[in-house]
A and B are shown apart, each in its own frame.
Chain A
Amino acid sequence: MKAPVISAWFGRGQVAAPPEIESAALRSDRFRLEREGDWRRLEAILARMEQGGLRRIADDDLIALPALYRTAASSLSVARETSLDAATLAYLEALVQRAWFQVYGPRQGFVRWLRGFLLGGWSRAVRALWLDISIALFVMVAGVIVGWLLVARDEAWYYRLFPAGMGETRVPGATREQLLASLANAESAAGLAGFAAQLFSNNSAVCILAFALGFAFGIPSLMLLVHNLALLGALLWLFDTQGLVVELAAWLSVHGTTELFGILLSGAAGLHIGRAMAFPGKRGVLDAAAAAGRRSAVVMVGVVIMMIVAALLEAFPRQLVEGTGARFLIGGTMLTFWLAYFILYRPALPTEDAALPQGPA
């Protein structure tokens, strides 16, 4: 730690050759000199691993790593009982810790993890959250009903939910033709890709918010769900006044089955954390929160993927495909796909040995 920082940036420099073992007057120092070569080799391997991953390491070194790690660990426990050399003990402690981070570090890189995630990890995580998903679904349905009832009782609520902008045709009192026009498809594909990118970053931000708010015992997540779905309820009521609710549902279903499913999952993920913190059970609050957090993080990565799909659907097919039947067909297909993927797709859980690379163990 006292070494100048700059030198650490430009490699370790030459290591001086250790003195002859016989020259050391103390037994504990001879112990150290006998093993120093192994420690230095371990240190060199670790430095290369930390710099550039596994590819730059010779196979021999990689095979030797676990053995070198155990050598250093046993050196440390012997040194603790026989040596009073504080500098050597500190070095060994740091060395073993660094080796521990590599030997017991993240086994998979991001790409490898993503593969396991798509091939089973995601649907497994979703199924693990079934209770939270049921609760979130209930809350979402309740949100739609609340939105509908509020607006049906008092039209002023509609303006409170949707602060009306200039030129907005979707307001109470709009004619059937105006509403139908808002559901019509766009003339051409120009501008839709940019629209999709915008939608994607916006929607995934909302989903990440719903997830992260679960930290406050899940209540804000549920409130966010109620609010978003109340908007939907109000919109449904508005189109119902002109008998257009089926057309609206078709228009929404193209991307909505994916997007609402994603929102449902993120709300459930947030709720899962909140529930674990409010009712940790036998474990400590911290442990329970950590276990729940890791499970829901997996679901959240999936939600981001769903949002990409939803944004693409929203920008292209929804704007380009006309006709209630065709729209329902796309939305229904997506819904079936997601349900099948989450519920029916159950690949065998990879065993610990098969899932992890051989080598450092």
Chain B
Amino acid sequence: MSRRAARAPAADKRARTLVTPEGLALPITIAPRSARAGALVIDVTIIVAGLVAFQLVIRRIADGMLGGTGFDPDAMPPPALEFLGIVFALFVFAVWYGYFLVQELGPRGATLGKRITGIRVAARGGARLTPEAVIARNLLRDIEIFYPLIALLVFAVTAQNGEDIGLLGWAVTGWFALFLLLPFFNRDALRAGDIVAGTWVVKRPDARLAPVLSAQGAAAAEGASTLTGVRYDFGEAELSVYGEKELQTLERMLRDSPPDALRAVHATICRKIGWDPGAGDERAFLEAFYAQLRAKLEADMRFGKRKADKHS
């Protein structure tokens, strides 16, 4: 597996296979680290913005209660102020842990940031995602990122005040770097929380059903062009040039390439099968060629013969 992964291009390196209880192998893609970092930034921004807004509201209420004398935490708090303080402390705690927990336990398995970047949490190896796993992976986020960051901030302030913090700063920096870089040192891009919880972060499956190619244009009308009425009929030898890989490249181009690109493909195919490339009816030609090539390859497939690409 690892040797194969080493040769494969970057996108394939993140491809994994998930086997469902029905025994069906499904391809699954590990989320890129950049998407995960982006999701974290979005989530933290949302949390911090929410907390700041909440604090402003609390402060406004407190100001109103003090009759415009200002918010003075050192003053002996009257019960109302104390109540606001408790509400704020509990709100911070609930938001900090609840934000990730509730959303990742939801049916999408993703926080808002993860949804925006198109990724989700899943249990490693096709097991069921459990509340325990989500709790474990989120409790560890604190020591991975936030405690060392806060510690570094505190040290920075202490150092500014002229106190010597010695090696401690380096130790915390090392700790921070170790956890931050952990996803770069394993194939599945697991952070410490993922390791402990048995989870990984994958790309959210998202594909729309494309139109049926063989029900439109020249492919449907037995190779006849709707533009010129010419019938394209390819022989056995002409259809044996290409394999499945080329067929699927052609499919992709028929679905979303501009006419210019189709002209180039048309010319290439004509050269390859020894036809004289005309002009102006490229799309019909390609549709007919696609339908007939696919019909041939699929017929072979039913007899157990597969042709991966033009070289095989």
Query: Chain A: residues with CB nearer than 8 A to chain B?
Result: 1-3, 16, 18-20, 23-29, 32-33, 36, 39-40, 43, 49-50, 53, 70, 73, 76-77, 81-88, 90-91, 93-98, 100-102, 104-110, 113, 190-191, 193-194, 196-198, 200-201, 204-205, 208-209, 211-213, 215, 273, 286-287, 289-298, 300-301
Contacts and interface: CB of A to CB of B under 8 A. Distances in A.
B150 to A, nearest CB: 10
A211 B139 CA distance: 9
A102 to B, nearest CB: 6
A94 B143 contact: no
A209 B147 contact: yes
Contacts of B165: none
A76 B107 CA distance: 23
A53 B248 CA distance: 37
Contact of B206 (A85, A94, A212): A94
Interface residues of B, number: 79
12 contacts: A3-B208, A24-B214, A25-B219, A43-B209, A84-B297, A88-B209, A90-B207, A93-B27, A106-B128, A212-B142, A294-B130, A297-B197
Contacts of B210: 87-88, 91
A18 B109 contact: no
B91 to A, nearest CB: 10
B85 A213 contact: no
Contacts of A70: 22
Interface in B42-57: none
Given A94-B205, A110-B102, 16 more contacts: A16-B211, A27-B298, A29-B214, A82-B301, A86-B252, A91-B210, A97-B28, A110-B101, A212-B139, A212-B140, A212-B142, A215-B140, A215-B143, A215-B195, A290-B196, A297-B135
B5 interface: no
Give the secondary structure class of B's interface.
Answer: helix
Query: Across chains A and B, which 7 residue pairs bring their CB atoms closest together, nearest first?
Result: A290-B198, A293-B196, A297-B136, A94-B205, A94-B207, A87-B210, A212-B143
B136 A18 contact: no
A83 B306 CA distance: 12
Contacts of A290: 124, 133, 195-199
B193 to A, nearest CB: 9
Contacts of A97: 18, 26, 28, 205
Contacts, number: 224
A94 B27 CA distance: 9
B82 A194 contact: yes
Contacts of B21: 104
A198 B86 CA distance: 8
Given A82-B301, A93-B207, A94-B205, A289 B133 contact: no
B6 interface: no
A102 B107 contact: yes
A191 B82 contact: yes
A52 B168 CA distance: 48
A19 B217 CA distance: 12
Contacts of B108: 50
B298 A194 contact: no
